[in-house]
Amino acid sequence: MRAVIQRVSRASVDVGAERVGEIGKGMLVLLCVLKGDTDATAAKMAEKLAALRIFEDDAGKMNLALEQAGGEALVVSQFTLAADLKKGNRPGFDAAAPPDDAKRICEVVVAELGKRVARPVRTGRFGEMMDVALVNAGPATFVLEIS
């Protein structure tokens, strides 16, 4: 499982003219489920996301986790993070999990993360063309792989 985590001042995701997810201060998680990922992988990802100390404390150091910082989470599925760009110019997506598996495992990540933070976890809409907007705070962007 692969994630790009962005610390944000605000973020939103729209499907067409409908706003389907929106947060203020917190983390935007672009999440990719890979072949072989399981519910256990999803639980480990959620645990790590909740524990990441990427928010600044009173001294200006990255020392606070999402809940300690009073932040929110927006999780958006993004299979393109599975892209293999080594050969040619067209990305290959063989490493991505099949859509039905990926959707279910994304839902597990969201549910498990929701158990670990005080606020509801917002989401995009799996399999849809989404417009994601964000204000990256820092900027602070992290790549996380869990197997």
Quote the domain boundaries for residue 6.
2-145
Q: Which of 6, 41, 78, 123 is catalytic?
A: 78
- Note if 78 is an active site residue: yes
Residue from 103, 83, 81 nearest 92 by CA: 83
6 catalytic per annotation:
no
Choosing from 38, 80, 93, 142, which is the catalytic residue? 80
**How far from each other are the two terminal CA atoms of the chain, in whole angstroms?**
6
pLDDT of residue 118: 84
Q: Which residue has the higher pLDDT, 27 or 118?
A: 27
The SS3 assignment for 39 reads: helix
pLDDT in tens, 46-62: 999 999 999 999 999 99
Looking up residue 122, the CATH number of its domain turns out to be: 3.50.80.10
Full-model pTM: 0.95
Residue range 77-88, pLDDT digits in tens = 999 999 999 999
Which one of the listed residues 79, 93, 123, 141 is annotated catalytic?
79
Query: Is a pLDDT exceeding 90 seen at residue 7?
Result: yes
The count of domains in the chain is: 1
At 68, give phi and psi (nearest 5°): -60, -30
Query: What are the pLDDT digits (tens) for 8-49?
Result: 999 999 999 999 999 999 999 999 999 999 999 999 999 999
Residues in the chain: 147
